[in-house]
Structure 1
Amino acid sequence: MFTALILTYIGAYVVGLYVIGSLWSVLELAISYLTPYFNPTEVYPLWKKYGNWAVVTGCTDGIGKYYALELAKKNINIVLVSRNPEKLKDVAQEIEKHGVKTKIIVADFSQGPEVYQRIEDELKEIPVGILVNNVGVQYEYPMPLCEMPTSKAMEMINVNVVAVTRMSRMLLPGMEARGRGAIVNVSSGSELQPHPMWAIYGASKVYVRNFTRAIRHEYAPKGIYVQHLSPLFVSTKMNNFSKKLLDGSLFVPDAETYARSAVNLLGRVQNTTGYWLHGIQYTFYKLAPEWARIKIGQLMLKDFRSEYMSNNVAKTK
């Protein structure tokens, strides 16, 4: 009887921890939205908290572009780092309409280590207060590992894994010396479980999640805020393998809507999807056992693959 009672208490404790852990992201979102109303003195302008220069990688389209624009609306100067010089100029002109300064750095992160010394030289005189590691590469369409060219696989690792590591390593010393700063590492909901048909992409985002949480513990005592941002599907060209995703929906916001929400959570929440409906989805996904999440994810990606194949077969006829 006594043993059964102890086991009951242990079971209740474990279940309680699991539920709280699953709901924590939603609780953090609620707290972040309510804080300005109940304790407005804790809400400071981002430039005052972290500094008036931000670096945003992968910033010419999608989330990166609109994240940079939202920061500019908050009076933060932007360093734009991406590979297309014409698009960089266009985004810089759009950002400067908000009365802030911009700097352009042309860099192709898929080239690997050779790009970083030049970026560091370009940033040497700029006191970067916010780093947004947004650059990323997605699959052209869901596929098994051996269907992906080796060059594409290495590009994905260089961009999704190496860039977040090298950019953080590059700018953390300056933030540490100033005693303040913020790093936002953009991961993905695909970090939740292994993804058959997205094996490399999903694994790269697990790296981003673990890397982000580790350096947070290393540098939070030194005044540096490190945010793990984990969006689910957003209507951007990264998902152009599916018209359903590009068309968007209540649960698939456009990049502008998503970025506006995510920037409002900067400095308030350490781990977040960045968008309240994604937070609810993420919570329910975590409540399911991993084997079920793997199966559901695989079925979903097979559906996207079929959609892509059907559309491309139709175009070739």
Structure 2
Amino acid sequence: MEFIDRALLSSYPNAPASLRYTVYFVTFIGFINLIKLGYGTLDLINRHFIRRPKDLMKTYGGNDTWAVVTGGSDGIGEQFCKDLSKKGFNICILGRNEQKMKEKLDQIKKQSGKEIKTRYVVADFAKLTRISDYENIASQLRDIDIGMLLLNAGWTQATPFIDFTPENIEATVNINAVHPAYLSKVLVNQLNERKQRSAIIITSSGLGSIPASGFITYSASKAFAGFLGQGLNFELKKKMDVMTFECGETRTKLMGSRKSRMIVDDISRVTTGCLRDIGYESLTYGCLTHELAMIPLKIFPLRMLQSMMFKASQKTFAMLQKKEAEAKKQN
């Protein structure tokens, strides 16, 4: 404080006490933020480069343990299935396309290099709105030992809220918010009664961390999912590890050759980064590139981010309308 007093008095000899106390306060806040920045940097280095991931089979597995993955026949969900099958977990996929699930499970089983079992449950999460619908799903899983539950199914469309159809709003909320809450609820006792620990991973999105205009229904529903995972991690910590996975844009077959202004990473690095953090964190961004991509969302003014996203949403929606109009003309 003496250094601050000397510097202040040399510039403002008649500085009032209120100014001095204001400078003390600002200096204190700056010092605290500097400590937080240093700790955050060390924590990031530890998580991505030093800390060893848990042995998932040893932590959550057994002689005949299953990983249940929603949306496991495409994209990130499919990669989760591949990763966990190679660790020895039996794989159960929940999704709406029965034929696709059969085909993907055959591929996963062949590529796993392990003697694993597979099964599937047909469920269209866009249309499931009651807890009783999910109790019916849970009844089909009572006979298996679920060590890991990955609530990965998600859906969105870049559309301004006023142009979003009622059907699309229902699908967005049902898949992104209702599905992780209800499926967690109907399976939580089954997971909690195991002798070993269990794990739940809820896939959210980086857009769930801000009110993303132009994607607001998706953003709000993913925010719900994100808070659900982080809150359950504390409530269930005696027997379960629950983690929210705020994923960024990922290079998948569905993305194709489309270019993106976002930071995009390969799907295998994304899922590996997520599984690396389960049992340690309540929130992960997965890979390093996606964690770094979150920095602008935390430091840039919200209005600027909302303006950029809303304009991008309007542009994308206009392109979709144009394609639909062209398709109608051809028909």
Q: Which residue of 1 aligns with 2:122?
A: 106
**1:79 touches 1:104 (CA, 8 Å); kept in 2?**
yes
Q: Percent identity?
A: 25
* Cα distance in 2 for residues equivalent to 1:146 and 1:307: 17
* Cα distance in 2 for residues equivalent to 1:86 and 1:57: 15
What do residues 232-253 of structure 1 show as CA deviations (whole Å, max 9, x unaligned)? Answer: 212347768x9324xx98x212
Greater RCO structure (CA 8 Å; 6+ sep) = 1
1:21/1:224 CA distance change after superposition, 3 Å: farther
Count of aligned positions: 305
Match of 1:187 among 196, 204, 213: 204
1:33/1:198 CA distance change after superposition, 3 Å: closer
Moved more, 128-137 or 20-29: 20-29
Moved more, 43-52 or 193-202: 43-52
Q: Which runs of 5+ in 2 are unaligned?
A: 1-15
1:18/1:119 CA distance change after superposition, 3 Å: farther
**1:72 touches 1:95 (CA, 8 Å); kept in 2?**
yes
1:25/1:134 CA distance change after superposition, 3 Å: farther
Moved more, 23-32 or 126-135: 23-32
Q: Which residue of 2 aligns with 1:166?
A: 182
For residues 54-73 of structure 1, what are the structure 2 equivalents within 5 Å?
54-73=67-86
Larger Rg: 2
* Cα distance in 2 for residues equivalent to 1:195 and 1:69: 32
* Cα distance in 1 for residues equivalent to 2:80 and 2:325: 36
1:236/1:303 CA distance change after superposition, 3 Å: farther
**1:32 touches 1:268 (CA, 8 Å); kept in 2?**
no
What do residues 115-162 of structure 1 show as CA deviations (whole Å, max 9, x unaligned)? Answer: 3122111111212111111011111xx222232221221111111111
For residues 121-160 of structure 1, what are the structure 2 equivalents within 5 Å?
121-139=139-157, 142-160=158-176
Which structure has the highest helix share of the two?
1
Match of 2:223 among 206, 209, 218: 206
TM-score (norm 1): 0.84
TM-score (norm 2): 0.81
- Aligned Cα root-mean-square deviation (Å): 2.9
